[in-house]
Structure 1
Amino acid sequence: MATLVAGAALLLGGCSVPGGLTISTGSTDEGTASISSGGHSSHATASATEGEPGDGGETGHNAADVMFLQMMIAREVETAKLAALADGGTLSKEVTALIGAISSTENDERAEMTGWLKAWGEPAEADADMHAEHGGVSTLTKADIKALKSASGSRFQTTFLNLLLAQQSNGAEIAQYATDHGKNGGVLELAGRIHESRSAQVQHMLNLL
């Protein structure tokens, strides 16, 4: 488990979490909500296309915007799968609150991202090989699930946090891809918000561990 924690921290590279930053988990007008505790898609168009107001397309979009949305949706589906396993053992109130905040936020994000892709005429999913060209999406393996289900006592929380930490670290990486290559104003704003919130969540979980 220690190796996984260290690896996840390294995945964030130069990501820094401002001192005193609370866990940012929302997609409100202000950009965040917080909890008090502590190669492109084969369907993506390479040239910018114009979007309708309110669909994330105010500044047009490019293939990197599409790939980011597809990868982040896939990323958040994996996190939802993990959250569904949270009742399998004992977790502290702080960790339970964190899971609830993450789940609520990511449900809202997926609805928003799916709406943009639909408005652009793009599929919500891309071929896994396309994702791999951009770093890939970390997925839960059978071994991961088996290890979590077989963990008891305090080991359940430790195992769960290590898995969730890896998921959210991957989310920060995907958001950085959009920041570096995206075009759409709405996508860039969402990517920045996701990068900040996932980085804060990773730091919080490292502290818990």
Structure 2
Amino acid sequence: MSVRAVLAAGAAAVLAAGLLGGCSGGDESEAAPKSTVLVPGRPGEPNKTAVRGPATPAPPTAAEIRFVEMMIPHHRQAVEMAGLAPGQAAAAQIKSLAERIGGGQRAEMAAMQSWLGKNGRPTGSPGGGHGGHGGPSAQATAHTGMPGMATPEQMGRLRAARGAEFDRLFLTLMITHHQGALTMTKDVIDKGTDVTVQELARDVEAGQQAEINRMRAIMPKD
């Protein structure tokens, strides 16, 4: 996810493949293919065949489940913020960046919702708040305790801003938002068992750090 444009086109497919091949919740045949191999016998004994392959994967940890459940509404707020840019931003580069952020995070949200469903967890509604909390405003209120989340007051200011004022506020809030996501990834990377979640967390870490660097570079100068 180091390049957000690539992620927007391919994240859903890549993570969906992980869901089918690497996440828990399915039976052993879903976890990984097995193969038949020839096992040489001892002197004087015939050769034998054996089925070899990975064991059934361990279930995801509580931390991994919590990470995905929290990252969905976290992404949803970023998508809402990015959706304001086409009509309110002054700079074309802000609009382009917002489009990449929105597309990439929507793809990740879809993959995370699919993962939750496969693991028997509530997925939330794609257009509303996490866990049925309602629309974007209700979602923002319910999840302001998560790292980097903009407050309802900050979201109100962003919705009202136009032109250069919007550009600066958008970048300021989105950098903080991305930094919050990086904090969340530190709590799960290398501390779980689910391949899909571990790959997702690393993608979030790499992609959002790259976007932070980009946003700092284009921040309007005083």
TM-score range, shorter chain: 0.5 to 0.7
Residues 136 and 104 of structure 1: CA distance in aligned 2, closer, same or farther (over 3 Å): same
- The residue aligned with 1:70 is 69
Contact 1:24/1:196, CA 8 A, preserved across alignment: no
Alignment of 1:1-209 (within 5 A): 23=4, 26=7, 27=11, 50-52=24-26, 53=30, 58-124=57-123, 125=130, 136-209=146-219
* Structure 1 Cα separation of the partners of residues 105 and 121 of structure 2: 20
Which one scores higher on RCO, CA 8 angstroms, separation ≥ 6?
1
**Identical counterparts, % of pairs:** 23
Amino acid at match of 1:160: F
User: Deviations for 1:164-200, whole angstroms, at most 9, x for unmatched residues?
Assistant: 1111111122122220422201110111111000011
Where does structure 2 lack aligned partners over 5 or more consecutive residues?
A: 16-22, 32-55, 124-129, 134-138
* Structure 2 Cα separation of the partners of residues 103 and 151 of structure 1: 19
* Structure 1 Cα separation of the partners of residues 192 and 90 of structure 2: 38
Q: Secondary structure at the match of 2:188?
A: helix
Q: Secondary structure at the match of 2:148?
A: coil
Amino acid at match of 1:103: G
TM-score (norm 2): 0.64
Based on CA coordinates, which of the two structures has the bigger radius of gyration?
2
User: Deviations for 1:66-124, whole angstroms, at most 9, x for unmatched residues?
Assistant: 01101110111111221222244233222211111111111111111111111111123
TM-score (norm 1): 0.67
Residues 100 and 58 of structure 1: CA distance in aligned 2, closer, same or farther (over 3 Å): farther
Aligned residues: 166
Contact 1:25/1:197, CA 8 A, preserved across alignment: no
Root-mean-square deviation (CA, aligned residues, Å) is 3.0
* Structure 1 Cα separation of the partners of residues 155 and 103 of structure 2: 22
Where does structure 1 lack aligned partners over 5 or more consecutive residues?
A: 1-20, 32-48
Structure 1 range deviating more: 101-110 or 80-89: 80-89
* Structure 1 Cα separation of the partners of residues 202 and 84 of structure 2: 29
Structure 1 range deviating more: 177-186 or 63-72: 177-186
Residues 23 and 108 of structure 1: CA distance in aligned 2, closer, same or farther (over 3 Å): closer
Residues 180 and 69 of structure 1: CA distance in aligned 2, closer, same or farther (over 3 Å): same
Contact 2:60/2:192, CA 8 A, preserved across alignment: yes
* Structure 2 Cα separation of the partners of residues 136 and 180 of structure 1: 21
* Structure 1 Cα separation of the partners of residues 114 and 82 of structure 2: 23
* Structure 2 Cα separation of the partners of residues 24 and 179 of structure 1: 24
